[in-house]
Structure 1
């Protein structure tokens, strides 16, 4: 039986390999060529749709809470091994059957290795599996055929409140003493972001330590004018400052630990009433670019599927 550290290292190598290239397994799933013929009456959209939703739930609402629990110091190795055995198979078996065989195999190897592993090694293995599944989810979100939803439109939509973009409404106080640059290619757009180091120092530290990194950029499908990108980070940092998404100012930058370790830019009005951790604020002088950015990302994610790349680096 392979030890957990070896499995985790292999997972991290796979994650690195698919950060800039769509994994072959997912391409075969979304094109109906993975070979198992899963899907009743010869269609595979049902299989693809269910696998896409299950992958999202698996990464954000099962693996990530398990990582937090394993890192918390409140649970024994035996307890975490049992929890993983209880929660994981329903996801990893089905996703493996749906074509994500590497994911299923890695999860099975961890289930076999965890009963004799330390709590530290279990935390390492869970984090590596979560990072890998997050990378799969990033490509899943980009290539999903969202434009099939054109037939499901509201009868009417209120006009956009353009006062939202009034720069005088953006809080002027300093929120931190560190900055990052976010750049998008091939758009040639670059902005400076003041990090919220005064109120969310640990979260900001995790982002700074991970930089630089380059990942595919995606667009929210529910929230409104918001773009996000799955990062290679796996932060369980405490968060003191959260705000309601729909009340956030123009150019707010957030970081969602719970939904895939996503770095998020709000470029216009949103509707979601959930609380989200604040990572920073785009410099006022750079805000003139981000409506164009958001529109380009929407086109990329919803219709064209041309990849837009986000690079995050320290300043």
Structure 2
């Protein structure tokens, strides 16, 4: 399908079209792998294949096992990237391909059978957030407002972006609004939700915050793990520092727990699709 592409600009357009087609619809190749539609897997089982591709797609998307479109796009990129007439064109092509890979990672993550983890639980229920340091919590000043809507939950909140603290990062997100993306739940850090955004940001970051120090309602943006918008709705245990994108306004915080619980159930149990729409308010 992509072997007939003749120029880098045509390739960029093709990659963006493939990415846009999967913003709210599961890619067919992901569905085939997770439902056993491909004869790949030792001893007539495909769970190990699913496990392998989920990790490899998320980390660097170098596994082409079953991903014919990804393999073709990678080959086309390798062929045409040296023909870029400017650095900007080359960067644009790589950004487009990275965005496509992030979309594959989002759907692979969503349908992965995380509920298997209920059989591998810790013996203790004690909190591990003793390292929380409230003095390190970031204060977000008044900035641009965005509306965040979760469907089909029909829950709407308003958030303030950290346009003074991280102006370049916020601008990267703002210029891509509005967008609608698949919402999922963290599987390691605690009461946190994230969604792969259709943004590839390499903006400088001036303000970061440890996740365990952040308040309920904090909005983070992870450039390093797939360009994800992250919303904290409760206790988080990770002490990794993440760029601050903003915070949900206090009067809407009571709605976050409902969203978080529904998204947790979707990610770990039902696999129902919950979509997050982010849009400007001015």
TM over 0.5: yes
With 38-47 and 305-314 compared, the bigger mean Cα shift is at 38-47
Listed as ranges, the gaps of 5+ residues in structure 2 are none
Q: Distance in 1 between matches of 2:84 and 2:44?
A: 43
Q: Distance in 1 between matches of 2:205 and 2:240?
A: 15
Q: 1:176 aligns with which of 142, 153, 156?
A: 142
Counterpart in the other structure of 1:283: 249
Determine if contact 1:212/1:311 at 8 Å carries over to the other structure. yes
Counterpart in the other structure of 2:171: 205
Q: 2:59 aligns with which of 53, 57, 60?
A: 57
Closer/same/farther in 2, CA of residues 32 and 287 from structure 1, 3 Å limit:
same
Determine if contact 2:8/2:83 at 8 Å carries over to the other structure. no
User: SS of the residue aligned with 1:210?
Assistant: coil
Listed as ranges, the gaps of 5+ residues in structure 1 are 60-90
Q: Distance in 2 between matches of 1:131 and 1:176?
A: 30
Q: Distance in 1 between matches of 2:46 and 2:27?
A: 19
Determine if contact 1:216/1:310 at 8 Å carries over to the other structure. yes
Closer/same/farther in 2, CA of residues 40 and 278 from structure 1, 3 Å limit:
same
Counterpart in the other structure of 2:76: 109
Question: Does 2:8 correspond to 1:9?
Answer: no
Deviations 1:11-62 (CA, angstroms, capped at 9, x unpaired): 100111111111111100111213xx22222221111111110001115xxx
Q: Distance in 2 between matches of 1:160 and 1:307?
A: 31
Counterpart in the other structure of 1:137: 105
TM-score (norm. length: structure 1) = 0.82
User: SS of the residue aligned with 2:209?
Assistant: strand
Deviations 1:195-228 (CA, angstroms, capped at 9, x unpaired): 1011100111111111111111000000100000
Question: Does 2:29 correspond to 1:25?
Answer: yes
Determine if contact 1:5/1:124 at 8 Å carries over to the other structure. no
Determine if contact 2:138/2:209 at 8 Å carries over to the other structure. no
The root-mean-square deviation of aligned C-alpha atoms, in Å, is 2.1
Question: Does 2:31 correspond to 1:47?
Answer: no
Structure number with higher helix proportion: 1
Q: Distance in 2 between matches of 1:57 and 1:160?
A: 27
Question: Does 2:240 correspond to 1:274?
Answer: yes
